[in-house]
Amino acid sequence: MMRTDILQFSGANVPISVVAKIMKKDKNFVRIGIQENWLPIGVAYKKNGSSEYSYYVSPKKLYEYTGYIYEE
């Protein structure tokens, strides 16, 4: 049988607050999980000389990990 309902992902960033809500976890849990690579849903980037991280959460990876479909 052929699937006709193929999922498409925009590539837009999923906000950390949304991820925390659907996972029923604290935002810091999500941030640290991404930083330490045990939460395989995105990447954390830290500029040289900065103490702050920027995050990108992939809608596709989030879906693969949780089953949640993010729609902007």
**Which residues are CB-contacts of 68 (< 8 A; sequence separation ≥ 6)?**
22, 62
- In the chain, domain spans: 16-66
The reported pTM is 0.85
Q: What single letter denotes the amino acid at residue 47? A: K
pLDDT tens sequence across 2-40:
555 677 888 889 999 999 999 999 999 999 999 999 999
Report d(CA 61, CA 20) in Å as an integer: 15
Report d(CA 19, CA 26) in Å as an integer: 9
Beta-ladder partners of 42: 57
